[in-house]
Amino acid sequence: MALKEQITEDMKNAMRAKDSERLGTIRLLLSAMKQKEVDERVVLDDAAVIAIVDKLIKQRKDSIEAFQKAERKDLADKEAAELVVLQAYLPARLSADEVAAAVKAIVVELGASGPGDMGKVMGAVKAKLAGKADMGQVSAAVKAALAG
């Protein structure tokens, strides 16, 4: 079953279970997906859906940080609950060691050396590891690989 269909099915299940928090988060995700489809006149594949989920997760993390600084625990908790629901739609994340190994392989494959090749390496790594790894972690691994 495609990820998009799985999300729609989860929405129906949340409706039946009267789980309003989960339902709200899934509807938010479906809305973002629909917006992308309408704006770009495309049908989303799993990779595009994962990119949208990643973007929404990053927004939630930023919001949680901002709400914690403002001492708004109630809003931070709501965002954290949404974060948990969204993370269920991501594939299993790679460990730091797996990310470092993948980055080193790509650096060798491209023949990259030095910080000047960061953009070229990041482009290749993003294509290969999209949705499988946190891009902040990937960026740090690329910097380390090009420095050493």
CATH of the domain at 44: 1.10.1510.10
Examine the fold and report which residue of 87, 119, 134 is the final residue of a domain before the chain moves on.
Answer: 87
The predicted-structure confidence for 1-30, as pLDDT tens digits, reads as follows: 789 999 999 999 999 999 999 999 999 999
Domain ranges, residue 58: 3-87
Hunting for tokens 């690989």 — which residue is that?
A: 145
Give CA–CA dist 57/15, Å, rounded: 22
Quote the number of domains for the chain: 2
pLDDT in tens, the chain (148 residues): 789 999 999 999 999 999 999 999 999 999 999 999 999 999 988 888 988 998 999 999 999 999 999 999 999 999 999 999 999 998 887 877 888 888 888 888 877 777 777 788 788 888 777 777 777 788 888 888 877 6
Which pair of tokens denotes residue 65? 């940080």
Task: Annotate 49-106 with DSSP letters as a single string.
Answer: HHHHHHHHHHHHHHHHHHHHHTT-HHHHHHHHHHHHHHHTTSPPPPPHHHHHHHHHHH
Amino acid, single-letter form, for residue 88: A
